[in-house]
Amino acid sequence: MADFDLMRELAKNDGGKIVLLVMDGLGGLPTESGGDTELEAAAVPYLDQLAREGCCGLSMPIGPGITPGSGPAHLALFGYDPLRYVIGRGVLEAFGIGLSVGPRDVAARGNFCSLDADGLITDRRAGRIATERSAELCDRLSSIRLAGVQTEAKPVKDYRFALVLRGEGLDPHLADTDPQVVGQAPLPVRSLRPEAEHTALLFQSWVDQARPILADQHPANGVTLRGFSSDPNLPKFGDVYRLRAACVAVYPMYRGLAQLVGMDVLPTDPGDTPADEFDRVAAAWDRYDFFFVHVKYTDSHGEDGDFDGKVRVIEQVDQGLDRLLAVKPDVLIVTGDHSTPSSMRSHSWHPVPTLLWAPQTHRPDAARSFGESECMKGNLGIFRAADLMVLALAHANRLTKFGA
Amino acid sequence: MADFDLMRELAKNDGGKIVLLVMDGLGGLPTESGGDTELEAAAVPYLDQLAREGCCGLSMPIGPGITPGSGPAHLALFGYDPLRYVIGRGVLEAFGIGLSVGPRDVAARGNFCSLDADGLITDRRAGRIATERSAELCDRLSSIRLAGVQTEAKPVKDYRFALVLRGEGLDPHLADTDPQVVGQAPLPVRSLRPEAEHTALLFQSWVDQARPILADQHPANGVTLRGFSSDPNLPKFGDVYRLRAACVAVYPMYRGLAQLVGMDVLPTDPGDTPADEFDRVAAAWDRYDFFFVHVKYTDSHGEDGDFDGKVRVIEQVDQGLDRLLAVKPDVLIVTGDHSTPSSMRSHSWHPVPTLLWAPQTHRPDAARSFGESECMKGNLGIFRAADLMVLALAHANRLTKFGA
């Protein structure tokens, strides 16, 4: 992975412009012996040409056999050792919906849940209430007051919400209150180290005040909290890579991740197609050195087991790609954060097809199209995702040489 | 290699069943330019089909250019960093013949040797006396008594035996007494650190008492001791991988290694063929999640420089393989612990052909048969043997994802 001390020493303030295009869950599997993967089945003339002209390989998000969540998978693509830099779920959720979480704040992921007359959980997801309903409930919860601390609760999606406490002396070392099974009451907020005891009391007070507010709101008459966490204070792109970096992503979590590593998050619409996202890159082209562009629905269709749907999203990306190529990036990387084979309906550990196209500096290889099998012929080999940023900077002529 | 903390976090109690089939010293070399290796020369229709359907690669036991002994090579296959976890030869020999060695016991590998009238070694292997003869001598040596310590000596094979001292305060940091050349006397037992001085005196007393017992037993009228060691207390398969693991191996050392990592050792007969070993897997199939199956004679023929003999053993494995496939393993890995090219008559560092077949989860690749050259086309690439267990667990759907 990127050695940040080395990057600070070698990275220059000038050089070419880089686009990192991430199709979430891009890697796949064939559904029958000898068949194509989703990417291989897709008609992608632009991507095939880029693969033919540039260099290819397969990236391992974490290491052999390890299936990543979206957080660590993206941190790796951004050059961070995903086993060292760990981001709590609470922070991810909060950032994703535009809540700020400073190093002294604590965020939690909340679930609305259903409680019976005895206070025992009957549904950990409150019947999967709609996001709009969640928003109404969060509004009601905004009446909660805690001594010396600000609180903010906002809906994420369906029964999920994010809760942030802001103030002095907060500590995120708290245990989840979700017992993970029905038939039990939510657990009390418990501190995992003495310094967090005050914070535990504050969160518990919030939960206690929420109870009467939600009492008549069945199926969402209870809450559980988990993933208590603070801003991990990651090294920032501007500092370690000397990049003015921007993020174009529709889905909240990826905007949150980009913000954590110091990217500016450009405005998007929830309905943006890949082509729309590329237009947003073009519109901001002069202001940044690096663009992270995230396409979500490859992963969503993979998780749904929808091979053809995933193929269609990949083809959509290709169909819009002329808009991205028109701005003439010096380095264009196309990859995924992990594999999501539709046959498995889940993230997986399989290495992710990756192409790096940098007409001034890439060394061409034997890959003739963009797909899992052809990438095996590429000269990037099987590499750690966390090494990709260094390759991006190198191909953009943004690194000086090491040693005399 | 497997990060055991991470494995403890990610490994599930359920998922598919795994067979790790190790042909000892599998990797080889061609005997003439453009020729086949032993594996490539063998007619192995089953293995070729598995390689075609699944994925292939080449495993490095320790690292580039490093030739391993059997102990570290197997530890690596089991996911242990072979440079960190080191097992003494004494323990290996003792475990292999069913002697227990607790963390406070010390085991040594013994050789019977021939001494002349001046007590100088004339044959370090006592004319390679038969195992039965060795057993008689070990019986005689059982009359030796040491203060506060139990002793047990048992034959291993030919002139080799294992000696275990059991008691309090023992320390294995002792130097070998085998001078490694003839014409010298066995060295006294010498401690390598102060804490081991008492143990050195005990072993020396054992040697001193053995001398008169063996005096009239020429060519086996002396002993040397080496590989003093204790149970290294390795993390166990059940703990780190959540696997109920079993070993099917004919040769003592591999049974000992399996025991050290927490596998149950299934009974075998010394004359078991590979097909017999596969039958033993089938018979125990319901009781375990993981089977380590060891085939010794590929290595033996390699060490003998017998190219054709090694080919025949590989073909024997293939001919029995239908019995293993009949139990329908979810993951079948076929590999070696290291290479033993018959042209070199020794272990070597060359990466070892490896196939991973897991019809529900493998990503097929361009390898069309099982052999060194075809494995280079495989999508496992050249990988560290110690990463293989993680891949096995992943392909068996026995790991949850890392991070959210």
Tell whether A124 and A250 lie within a shared domain.
no
| Domain finish residue from B207, B229, B251 | B229
Q: Percent of chain A scored above 70 by pLDDT? A: 100
CB-facing half-sphere around the CA of B205: CA atoms within 13 A: 16
Model pTM?
A: 0.89
Out of A72, A92, A349, whose CB is closest to B394? A349
B368 shares contact with chain A (CB less than 8 Å): no
The torsion of the CA quartet A107, A113, A116, A118, rounded to 10 degrees, works out to: -20
pLDDT at A99: 87
Is the previous residue joined to A219 through a cis bond, with omega within 30 degrees of 0? Answer: yes
> In this complex, is the C-beta atom of A67 within 8 Å of any C-beta atom belonging to chain B?
yes
Q: Do A57 and A102 belong together in one domain?
A: no
Find the closest chain A residue to B9 by CA distance.
A66
d(CA A202, CA A298): 40
- My answer on whether B203 and B80 are in the same domain is no
Q: Confirm whether B404 is domain-assigned.
A: no
The verdict on B264 and B336 lying in the same domain is yes
A321 plus A262 within the same structural domain: yes
Residue A400 inside a domain? The answer is no
**Does a structural domain hold residue A402?**
no
What residues make up the domain containing B183?
A: 91-229
Residues of A in contact with B361 (CB under 8 A): 29, 344, 348
C-beta separation of B350 from B339 below 8 A? yes
Residue A351 touches chain B, beta carbons under 8 Å: yes
Are residue B105 and residue B203 in the same domain, yes or no? yes
Same domain, yes or no, for B49 and B20?
yes
Give domain status of residue B198, yes or no: yes
The pLDDT assigned to B214 comes to 97
pLDDT at A175: 96
A344 contacts in B (CB within 8 Å)?
Answer: 361
CATH number of domain containing B212? 3.30.70
> Contact, A218 vs A114, CB < 8 A?
yes
Under-50 pLDDT residues of chain A: none
Residue A211 counted as domain residue: yes
Strand partners, A293: A21, A248
Best of A67, A380, A384 to disrupt the B interface by mutation (most B CBs within 10 Å)?
A67
Chain A within 8 Å of B77 (Cβ-Cβ)? Answer: no
Of A203, A229, A255, at which residue does a domain stop? A229
Taking contacts as CB-CB distances below 8 angstroms, the residues of chain B near A74 are none
Give the pLDDT confidence score for residue B99 in this predicted structure.
Answer: 87
Cα nearest neighbour of B382 on chain A: A382
Number of domains in chain B: 2
- Give the Cα-Cα-Cα angle B223, B228, B234 (nearest 5 degrees): 145
Residues B168, B247 within the same domain: no
B213 and B157 in one domain? yes
The reply to whether residue A69 touches residue B10, judged by beta carbons under 8 angstroms, is no
Q: Identify the pLDDT of residue B282.
A: 98
Q: Is the dihedral of CA B327, B328, B332, B334 positive or negative?
A: positive
- Torsion angle of alpha carbons B250, B252, B256, B257, nearest 10°? -70
Q: Give yes or no for B84 touching A (CB within 8 A).
A: no
**What's the gap in Å between the CA of A66 and the closest CA on chain B?**
7
Query: Peptide bond before A172: cis, by omega within 30 degrees of 0?
Result: no
- Consecutive H or E run containing B382: strand B381-384
Phi-psi region of A364 (alpha: psi -120 to 50; beta: other; left: phi over 0): beta
Task: Please answer yes or no on whether A33 and B364 come within 8 Å at the CB atom.
Answer: yes
Q: Do B330 and B350 fall within a single domain? A: yes
Which single residue is written with the structure tokens 């009601």? A140
**Distance spanning both ends of chain A, measured CA to CA:** 23
| pLDDT, position B256 | 87
Pairing of strands A150-157, B106-115: unpaired
Number of CB pairs < 8 Å for A and B? 82
Is B400 inside any structural domain?
no
Candidate from B363, B365, B393 with C-beta closest to A65: B393
> Is residue B179, in this structure, part of any structural domain at all?
yes
| pLDDT value at residue A269 | 94
Q: Nearest Cβ partner of A381 from B6, B381, B400? A: B381
Q: Is there a single domain that holds both residue A50 and residue A116? A: no
Q: Could you count the other beta carbons within 10 Å of the beta carbon of residue A381? A: 16
Dihedral of alpha carbons B304, B309, B315, B321, sign: negative
Distance CA A169, CA A147 (A): 13
Give the chain A residue whose CA is nearest to the CA of B384. A64
Provide φ and ψ at B346, rounded to 5°.
-165, 165
pLDDT per residue, tens digit, chain B (404 aa), is 689 999 999 999 999 999 999 999 999 999 999 999 999 999 999 999 999 999 999 999 999 999 999 899 999 999 999 999 989 889 988 987 878 888 789 999 999 999 999 999 999 999 999 999 999 999 999 999 999 999 999 999 899 999 999 999 999 999 999 999 999 999 999 999 999 999 999 999 999 999 999 999 999 999 999 999 998 889 999 999 999 999 999 988 899 899 899 999 999 998 999 999 999 999 999 999 999 999 999 999 999 999 999 999 999 999 999 999 999 999 999 999 999 999 999 999 999 999 999 999 999 999 999 999 999 999 999 999 999 999 999 999 999 999 87
Residue A404 domain-assigned (yes or no): no
Is the ipTM beyond the 0.85 threshold?
A: yes
d(CA B240, CA B242): 6
Select from A199, A229, A259 the last residue of a domain. A229
User: What CATH number did the domain enclosing A385 receive?
Assistant: 3.40.720.10
Is A70 in Cβ contact with B404 (below 8 Å)?
yes
Angle of helix A131-141 relative to helix A197-214, nearest 10 degrees, comes to 110
Same-domain pairing of A61 and A99: no
Alpha-carbon distance B60 to B65, whole Å? 9
